[in-house]
Amino acid sequence: MEEVIRLENVVKIYRTGGVVTYGLRGVNLVVYRGEFIAIMGPSGSGKSTLLNIVGLLDRPTKGRVLICGEDVSRMSSKKLAYFRNRKIGFVFQHFNLINRLTVLENIELPLVARGMPRKYRIELAKKALIMAGGDLSWLPKRPNQLSGGQQQRVAIARAIVGSPEIILADEPTGNLDRASAKIVMQTFLKLNRAGNTIVMVTHDPEVANCTQKIYVIRDGKIVAVEEPDPSRCVIETVK
């Protein structure tokens, strides 16, 4: 199986004045192409720190990070931004959509950064929204005219519009009601079956049990790897 993420003895230390805080304490993790994994743990355990390092939003203090076979630990900031734009799509708990832009403009943002002509951006944005379970009638609307579940599907469309190798999701159902959470998880499962590699941070066991593998993190260390129970997935059945 092809590796798309590899963390080797990754340590993250934060220093505030004279206080030293460990975000991660020697994490080792390998994710293979096409996997859908969940990362669970209590507040402050290092979940978001781990996701930020995998997503190239933060650098490790020690250790190596390889994404799609490339050592990104020592890349320049400019090269990291270029690499992140093409290899990684992000989905956040709070959607992170821009209300002064239309849904279409939000979705096409990653492609604007690539300098892609607008007519191609529009076509790819439409395809991404359909793939994310959305409706083309949303395109001219502003995000705040949509429900929370609809906004999250727009955020997923933005994450996948550039055909990234990896989708990273940070508590993607955390602000949603149960019905919307089911729709969002169905969307992630559909994307995974289409070949997308997905790493998701969640506190919700019913969401984690929809994935293929659950990593438990505590005090900055991965302490267990668990097999999900599909019968406890929020969608009820995972085929």
pLDDT tens-digit readout, 75-130: 898 999 989 999 999 998 888 999 999 999 999 999 998 999 999 999 999 999 99
- Which run of H or E residues covers position 182? helix 178-193
Q: Is residue 96 part of a domain?
A: yes
Say which CATH number the domain at 94 has: 3.40.50.300
> Is residue 6 included in any domain, yes or no?
no
Backbone angles phi, psi at 135, to 5 degrees: -125, 135
Establish if 90 belongs to a structural domain: yes
- Tell me, yes or no, whether 205 lies in a domain: yes
CA-CA-CA-CA torsion sign (82, 85, 86, 89): positive
Q: Is there a domain that residue 25 lies in?
A: no
8 is a domain residue:
no
What gap in Å lies between CA 155 and CA 213, rounded to an integer?
24
Report the alpha-carbon distance of residue 79 to residue 164 in Å, rounded: 16
- Give the Cα separation of 198 and 167 in Å (integer): 5
Residue 239 lies in a domain: no
Whole domain around residue 182: which residue ranges? 35-57+77-232
**Segment 119-166, tens digit of pLDDT:** 999 999 999 999 999 999 999 999 999 999 999 999 999 999 999 999
> 177: how many CB neighbours lie within 10 A of its CB?
11
pLDDT tier, 1 (very low <50, low <70, confident <90, very high otherwise):
confident
* Tally of domains within the chain: 1
Among positive and negative, which fits the CA dihedral 155, 156, 162, 166? Answer: positive
Instruction: Judge whether 174 lies within some domain.
Output: yes
Q: What is the pTM of this model?
A: 0.92
